């Protein structure tokens, strides 16, 4: 598979969530769905990217983290 095909395949099988969800809720959803990533969508349900369990775990462990951080506020790497 090419990288583009891999990303499309990955996005097709991951739960889709709105980017206004908090990190805490996203982590809970990942645990319940037993997945390691989610597809982020904007208000028009357009895919805007992926968020991974590893990325959110690092963010949650940061000293500046609060439980009010929304996925749209997560800095891109």
pLDDT tens string 26-65: 999 999 999 999 999 988 989 989 999 999 999 999 999 9
| pLDDT score of 62 | 92
C-alpha dihedral sign at 63, 27, 73, 58: positive
In this prediction the pTM is 0.78
Query: Has residue 76 got a pLDDT over 60?
Result: yes
pLDDT at 6 over 50: no
CATH number of 3-73: 3.10.580.10
What tokens were used for 6? 């891999």
**CA-CA distance, 35 to 77, in Å (whole number)?**
21
Helix (H) or strand (E) holding 36: none
* DSSP type of residue 73: G
Domain residue extents for the chain: 3-73
Q: CA–CA separation, 17 vs 71, rounded Å?
A: 10
Structure tokens given for 5: 């095909």
- Model confidence at 12, pLDDT cuts 50, 70, 90, reads low
């Amino acid at each position: 598979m090419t990288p583009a095909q891999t990303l499309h395949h990955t996005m097709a099988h991951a739960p889709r969530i709105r980017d206004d969800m908090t990190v805490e809720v996203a982590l809970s959803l990942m645990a319940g769905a037993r997945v390691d990533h989610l597809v982020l969508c904007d208000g028009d349900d357009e895919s805007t990217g992926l968020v991974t369990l590893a990325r959110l775990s690092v963010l949650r462990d940061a000293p500046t983290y609060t439980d009010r951080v929304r996925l749209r506020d997560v800095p891109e790497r």
